[in-house]
């Protein structure tokens, strides 16, 4: 007989277990016999190896933390590096920030993976070095992460492993160009009507996202925008990205 049926007289595969509530028990995968079984109250992932055998995988088999950095970006306020000038339209992102530890600011994939990103990036806001924002306008502070290939100076990674545009399109530097690559887009509003008073720094945006990437070396980078609906009489409001502690975590979910 080419096919075997259990609780069925019409097997559809080499082994067919019938019954709405039927399961398959394999003693060699049970707890505590198999050390990779997570035990009572948990579920353990079952994989198929190169021989077609069912095996239990460990977390290390398919998940790995590739990058985990604290205070990732340089803290100093530098108009040429991490300053974002206010604008009155949406999607006007500016590349901002440079990694603090450049030799160790990349991670490398040796095989395709679904990449999970988690970040917390700091920012401060001001009218100028001696004047705080105090006009009561609600300003949107939006941030995102993107990857550069090879190093922080490499080309922007705009497409995923399957050739799809990553995160849709976003405009850079006042709309001069539209590219893909944005991940974990998030934001919050800032408003203050106390002239000369009010908090201006130690704010954070947090974001998470997933993207499928091919093997390669990647550098996490950031982009941000500061937007307000009415710029009349506001002056050159600006913010700086990465002025405090910034955390970046990259997790690979392998599926091959």
Residue 112 has pLDDT above 90, yes or no: yes
Residues 85 and 179 in one domain: yes
Mean pLDDT of 16-26: 85
Q: What is the DSSP letter of 223?
A: E
Residue 107 has pLDDT above 50, yes or no: yes
**Token reading at 90:** 């949406």
pLDDT in tens, 31-80: 888 888 878 877 777 877 778 888 887 656 688 999 999 999 999 999 99
Residues 53 and 67 in one domain: no
What pLDDT, on the 0 to 100 scale, is given for residue 46? 82
Residue 175 has pLDDT above 60, yes or no: no
**How many structural domains comprise the chain?**
2
Beta pairing class for 4-6 and 15-17: parallel
pLDDT higher at 27 or 175: 27
Q: Got the DSSP string for 119-170?
A: EEEEEEEESBTTB---S---EEEEEEEEEEESSTTS-B--B-TTSPBTT--E
Q: What are phi and psi of 81, to 5 degrees?
A: -120, -50
Residues 131 and 202 in one domain: yes
Mean pLDDT of 169-196: 76
Residues 32 and 68 in one domain: no
Residues 12 and 79 in one domain: no
What pLDDT, on the 0 to 100 scale, is given for residue 176? 45
Give just the sign of the alpha carbon dihedral 115, 116, 122, 125: positive
Mean pLDDT of 136-149: 93
Residue 115 belongs to a domain with what CATH number?
A: 2.60.120
**Where is the domain boundary, 9, 25, 57?**
57
Q: How confident is the model at residue 143 (pLDDT cuts 50, 70, 90)?
A: very high
Residue 177 has pLDDT above 60, yes or no: no
With a pLDDT cut of 90, the percent of the chain lying above it is: 49
Q: Number of helices (H) and strands (E), helices first, in the chain?
A: 1, 17
pLDDT in tens, 70-99: 999 999 999 999 999 888 776 678 999 999
Residues 106 and 231 in one domain: yes
Residues 70 and 50 in one domain: no
What pLDDT, on the 0 to 100 scale, is given for residue 39? 82
Rounded Cα gap, residues 57 and 43, in angstroms: 11
Residues 78 and 139 in one domain: yes
What pLDDT, on the 0 to 100 scale, is given for residue 28? 86
Residues 246 and 154 in one domain: yes
Residues 126 and 236 in one domain: yes
For residue 240, what are the β-bridge partners? 83, 124
Mean pLDDT of 210-234: 89
Residue 179 has pLDDT above 70, yes or no: no
Residues 51 and 140 in one domain: no
For residue 95, what are the β-bridge partners? 223
Domain span at residue 75 reads: 63-253
Residues 126 and 165 in one domain: yes
């Amino acid at each position: 007989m080419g096919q075997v049926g259990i609780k069925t007289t019409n097997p559809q595969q080499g082994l067919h277990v019938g019954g709405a509530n039927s399961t398959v028990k394999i003693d060699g995968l049970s707890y505590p016999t198999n050390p990779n079984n997570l035990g009572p109250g948990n579920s353990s992932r079952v994989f198929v190896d190169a021989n077609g055998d069912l095996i239990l995988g460990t977390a290390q088999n398919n998940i790995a933390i590739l990058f985990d950095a604290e205070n990732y970006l340089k803290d100093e306020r530098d108009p040429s590096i991490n300053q974002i000038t206010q604008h009155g339209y949406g999607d006007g992102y500016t590349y901002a920030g440079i990694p603090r530890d450049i030799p160790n600011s990349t991670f490398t994939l040796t095989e395709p993976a679904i990449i999970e990103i988690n970040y917390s990036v700091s920012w401060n806001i001001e009218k100028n070095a001696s004047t705080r924002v105090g006009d009561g306008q609600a300003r949107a502070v939006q941030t995102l992460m993107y990857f550069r290939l090879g190093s922080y100076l490499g080309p922007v990674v705009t497409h995923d492993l399957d050739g799809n545009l990553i995160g849709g399109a976003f405009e850079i530097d006042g709309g001069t160009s539209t590219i893909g690559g944005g991940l974990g887009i998030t934001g919050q509003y800032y408003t203050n009507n106390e002239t000369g008073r009010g908090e201006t720094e130690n704010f954070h945006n947090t974001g998470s996202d997933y993207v499928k990437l091919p093997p390669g070396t990647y550098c996490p980078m950031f982009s941000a925008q500061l937007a307000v609906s009415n710029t009349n009489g506001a002056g050159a409001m600006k913010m700086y990205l990465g002025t405090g502690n910034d955390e970046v975590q990259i997790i690979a979910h392998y599926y091959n």
